[in-house]
Structure 1
Amino acid sequence: MKKVIVIGSGFSSLSAACYLAKAGFDVSLYEKNSTIGGRARQLKKQGFTFDIGPSWYWMPDIFEKFFNDFGKNTSDFYKLKKLNPAYKIFFTDDVITIGDCMDKICEEFERIENGSSKHLRTFISKAQDNYDIAINKIVLRPGISPLELVTKDTVLRVDQFFKTISQEVRKRFKNPKLISTLEFPVLFLGAKPSNTPSFYSFMNFADFGLGTWHPEGGMYEIIKAMKALAEELGVVIHVNAAIEKIEVTNRTTSAVVVNGKNIKADIIISGADYHHSETLLDKEYRQYSEKYWNKKTYAPSSLLFYVGFDKRLKNIEHHNLFFDTNFEKHAEEIYDNPQWPSEPLFYANFPSVTDKSMAPEECETGFFLVPIAPGLEDTRTLRNQYFDIIMNRFELRTNQVVKNNIIFKESFCINDFIEEYNSFKGNAYGMANTLTQTAFLRPGLKSKKVEDLYFTGQLTVPGPGVPPSLISGKLVSELIIKKHL
């Protein structure tokens, strides 16, 4: 039985470990931190529960397919609730509410721009076709050859790879608030809407068509479910086990060094940060130079705050976007001219609105996120300065005073992403899905220089986000199974 070592315990690592254990490999997983989950870990404090990382549950079909592959359902592990409304977007002079079905969303669009619902239905119908092609065909390919992208479906849509989401949206809608609402979902792909192929409108179908969900107890319930499944399949999980080196013998993986000990392996998969994983190899075995990594476009990093409030808050939903400043300007300060944003957009998440188990009685669990460029200077002073900026705007837009009701706040930013996850430049979401960084143009799942060394996660195929990470784990396991079984 071939011995596989998986580095890291995020969604992609757990996914790969499960598929390989099911196929009969002897799988051990090593996590440097004291708890598993990678960027999707959990913080519990004074009765408050926070998801440290991902907080949006989109594409429920992908999660369902993952568990179905093992003869299970998501409902065997956690309970899902569809959010209504899905989220609110705060502008300077209005609030847009995104309901839980197309009829409600169309009604809201009509309120803002007369006649826009007809355009919206056409746009989402096209986005649904793209979703079907992307999720059932393209995304399930391992990014080895450009020919993977050439199918009868994609050939018919080739223009959508050379037009951008921005062009597609602005052709149909004139109101800037509706434009921002439709351009927002591609931010999950980590690139500006003006740099993202219009084919990626499938994210709009994920949003409006499939809806936004909440697993009872928070996103960490998915990690707990995957851990239970992995262990049931025979995966052995080690925590507090940082990998110090990947050993190579005769250009083939042979072992890892963990806490000073050599542990033999036939196959190694790293779901840790790709750039960091390559630094665990001797230089001659690295595929990509520092210059390569420095030239790439990264998805944003984030300044995050976890805040416990001693009262219930008003005028909020589970998910809230604050687009009451200039969307384009903030995007430029992330991608074109990296700097701390002058007037940041931000996101606020209050899971206790939906799920009372996530906060003490009559309290609120608050998670705030400011997208920022990776690689910026990160100091305590800057964090505090930005907390004041977003809390002032939060109070103004939601028409309430909350600063005096803060029991505690904890923050997480670039230095923490580097420290906790060895994240390149402290990025939060991996590498952006721009046209020149799509599919086979991303760092490969399989090492070109070392036999039986593989990679998975958001810096490789298919890209950033939780559902793509689950798929990434499946893709890498299929390459291994194909070679060894």
Structure 2
Amino acid sequence: MSKTVSIIGSGFASLAAASYLAKDGYKVSVYEKNADLGGRARQLKKEGFTFDMGPSWYWMPDVFERFFADFNKAPSDYYKLEKLKPAYKVFFEAGKSITIEDTLEKIYLAFEEEEKGSSKKLKKFIDQAQSNYNIAIKDLVYRPGVSPIELITPATIKKIGQFFGTIAGDVRKEFKNKNLVQILEFPVLFLGAKPSDTPSFYSFMNYADFGLGTWHPQGGMNKVIQAMISLAKSLGVEFFTNASVEKINVSKGKAESISVEGRKIPSDIILAGADYHHSETLLEPKYRQYSEKYWAKKTFAPSSLLFYVGFSKKIDNIEHHNLFFDVDFEAHAQDIYDSPKWPNEPLFYANFTSVTDNTTAPENCENGFFLIPLAPGLEDTEELREEYFEKIITRFEKLTNQEVRKYVIFKESFCVNDFIKDYNSYKGNAYGMANTLLQTAFLRPKLMSSKVKGLFFTGQLTVPGPGVPPALISGKLVSGLIHKEFTI
């Protein structure tokens, strides 16, 4: 008889694990507290507009291909993928902007135009980043973080110095132009920490950016979620929405069931794909691995203030993805990591999928997704949200040289309080736990509980870390551990 697995949450990691476990012969059920599946990757649909509510960058296409290939499938079996040309645009002060194109050759030219001699330095930097990518993504990140020995390979021994240097140190040693420095430091922000706290080895993110490019699944990132749901269902996985898990029940040191809306659901194995901190609060205190002091000392990735805006006209001078680095990068980073507070002048990001995908907005309209990174745990009020929308939309109009306010049809926001309410997110963080040196691999919260047999965890607070591709990998890693412990 098949062993039963109950999975809490339906984000990328949970969905990946569900398919791997079902493929291995387990009877899998997924319980999602919200009305829609997908975790942070849900969609908002309103008045003909479609918005991805969370993840909006499709990087590392090889990780997606590897996931689907494990089931003899390909992304193209489920969704249409387009490489963005250009990848994104970066706005700086005084109306300056740099466009990052879709090939390394074009990017080298853009750097050379900005700083003479920088293209040769960039090529050397990217060659190193590609080497790191090949080691990291093709090997290291597919290890379950059980032991430090996992990190010791002939390839990593040669790279040992890169675990003690920093991205900021490496970039600033070679590049003097402030704008180029910010572009090169930007990709590691996906890892949730400052470039000055991120090990040099993580330059593989720069290869993911420049070398592999930025992609878009037609219809939005949620199309990937729908593909994973379809795959899981074809393997026999059952899904339950509006099913909030209230407790993980333990008997004689073994996870035996979950309580959902007052009903006990027996299970041989329980996999928590919800926020790790929250998942442990579903246990009696004696069964929790990590104390409140533990979580309080950890470096968490930022939260975000998000706006979903429908515009009644096409917007000029923008690309699909746009970064606004026209204010002090260091000051905003300090307001997130060093002395948490609402930033005086925030950097922000805006995407308009309707620039390249006409399925996401009505004709002659634009869908705007705006994101301001914030420290987790901040006070969150409607007044603050409105104040910061005014700040960024004023700068947006100035930097893109147009008026857009009067074309706003509607505006919805999402911030700290919503991350807590909708995702039980620790302090309302948006991306999980940062990948600093002391929060990498085996130093992150474990995939397998050390106190409760049959209880496992997956997602952005455990290995490999924050981001969509790492979430897919996390689901694979935990399913492998489960299969090792409970071979059918």
Q: Which residue of 1 aligns with 2:180?
A: 178
| CA offsets 1:396-417 (integer angstroms, 9 cap, x no match) | 0000000000000000000000
Supply the AA of the counterpart residue of 1:184: F
Query: Aligned partners of 2:55 and 2:188: how far apart in 1?
Result: 15
What pairs up with 1:37-116 in 2 under 5 angstroms? Answer: 37-93=38-94, 94-116=96-118
- Segments of 5+ residues of structure 1 without an aligned counterpart are none
Q: Which of 195, 198, 206 is matched with 2:208 structurally? A: 206
- State the Cα distance separating 1:19 from its structure 2 match: 0.1
What pairs up with 1:401-412 in 2 under 5 angstroms? Answer: 401-412=403-414
Supply the AA of the counterpart residue of 1:34: A
Secondary structure at the counterpart of residue 129 of structure 2: helix
Supply the AA of the counterpart residue of 1:354: T
What pairs up with 1:76-475 in 2 under 5 angstroms? Answer: 76-93=77-94, 94-475=96-477
Query: Aligned partners of 1:442 and 1:216: how far apart in 2?
Result: 34
RMSD: 0.4
Supply the AA of the counterpart residue of 1:112: E
Secondary structure at the counterpart of residue 480 of structure 1: helix
Q: Which residue of 2 aligns with 1:5?
A: 6
- State the Cα distance separating 1:351 from its structure 2 match: 0.2
- State the Cα distance separating 1:176 from its structure 2 match: 0.5
- State the Cα distance separating 1:375 from its structure 2 match: 0.2
- State the Cα distance separating 1:275 from its structure 2 match: 0.3
Question: What is the TM-score of this pair, normalised by structure 2?
Answer: 0.99
- State the Cα distance separating 1:471 from its structure 2 match: 0.1
Supply the AA of the counterpart residue of 1:33: N
Q: Which residue of 2 aligns with 1:21?
A: 22
Secondary structure at the counterpart of residue 93 of structure 2: coil
| CA offsets 1:5-26 (integer angstroms, 9 cap, x no match) | 0000000000000000000000
Supply the AA of the counterpart residue of 1:12: A
Supply the AA of the counterpart residue of 1:72: K
Secondary structure at the counterpart of residue 230 of structure 2: helix
Secondary structure at the counterpart of residue 119 of structure 2: helix
Report % sequence identity: 67
- State the Cα distance separating 1:171 from its structure 2 match: 1.2
Query: Aligned partners of 1:256 and 1:317: how far apart in 2?
Result: 46
Supply the AA of the counterpart residue of 1:78: Y
- Segments of 5+ residues of structure 2 without an aligned counterpart are none
Supply the AA of the counterpart residue of 1:232: S
Query: Aligned partners of 2:4 and 2:273: how far apart in 1?
Result: 17
Query: Aligned partners of 1:231 and 1:424: how far apart in 2?
Result: 30
Query: Aligned partners of 1:325 and 1:50: how far apart in 2?
Result: 27
Q: Which residue of 2 aligns with 1:477?
A: 479
| CA offsets 1:457-479 (integer angstroms, 9 cap, x no match) | 00000000000000000000000
Secondary structure at the counterpart of residue 170 of structure 2: helix
Supply the AA of the counterpart residue of 1:375: G
Supply the AA of the counterpart residue of 1:29: V
| CA offsets 1:209-266 (integer angstroms, 9 cap, x no match) | 0000000000000000000000000000000000000000110000000010000000
Query: Aligned partners of 2:328 and 2:65: how far apart in 1?
Result: 37
Question: What is the TM-score of this pair, normalised by structure 1?
Answer: 1.00
Query: Aligned partners of 1:106 and 1:17: how far apart in 2?
Result: 42
Query: Aligned partners of 1:296 and 1:110: how far apart in 2?
Result: 40
Supply the AA of the counterpart residue of 1:269: L
| CA offsets 1:309-345 (integer angstroms, 9 cap, x no match) | 0000000000000000001110111000100011100
Query: Aligned partners of 1:204 and 1:296: how far apart in 2?
Result: 25
Supply the AA of the counterpart residue of 2:392: I
Query: Aligned partners of 1:111 and 1:327: how far apart in 2?
Result: 22
Secondary structure at the counterpart of residue 181 of structure 2: helix
Q: Which residue of 2 aligns with 1:34?
A: 35
- State the Cα distance separating 1:482 from its structure 2 match: 1.3
Supply the AA of the counterpart residue of 2:366: E
- State the Cα distance separating 1:484 from its structure 2 match: 1.6
Query: Aligned partners of 1:282 and 1:336: how far apart in 2?
Result: 33
| CA offsets 1:95-147 (integer angstroms, 9 cap, x no match) | 01000001110110011000100000010010000000001111010001011
Supply the AA of the counterpart residue of 2:119: S
| CA offsets 1:71-113 (integer angstroms, 9 cap, x no match) | 1000000000000110000001310100000111011001100
Query: Aligned partners of 2:249 and 2:411: how far apart in 1?
Result: 42
Q: Structure 1 residue runs of 4+, over 6 Å off?
A: none
Supply the AA of the counterpart residue of 1:13: S
